[in-house]
Amino acid sequence: MKSPEEQLNWRNKIAGTLGTPQVREVLEEYLETARRELSTVIPSDKDPHAYNVHRALGRVEMLEYLISQGNIATKATENKKD
């Protein structure tokens, strides 16, 4: 279990990296691309277990998670200032 100070340091690290506007823009562009790829993937006989669909879906979920973590970390620091 992390102490409150360690949690604050961790949140500040996330806010300083994933929470910056430039990083968010890049992640959102990647997310749009990944969603387009996911919508074009069609399971075929060559891929009976749909590994390509799972790979594309995992990419979308990963990007959504990173964006949300950046937003959460940034909101928390903005609320502390008020």
Reported as a single tens digit per residue, the pLDDT across 9-41 is 888 888 889 889 999 999 999 999 999 999 998
Q: How far is the C-alpha of 14 from the C-alpha of 7, rounded, in Å?
A: 11
Helical H runs in the chain?
Answer: 4-17, 21-40, 51-81
Predicted pLDDT at 77: 54
Structure tokens at 31: 């997310």
Give the side-chain half-sphere CA count within 13 A for 62. Answer: 8
Say what the pTM is: 0.80
Report yes or no: 55 and 37 within 8 Å, Cβ to Cβ: no
Predicted pLDDT at 82: 47
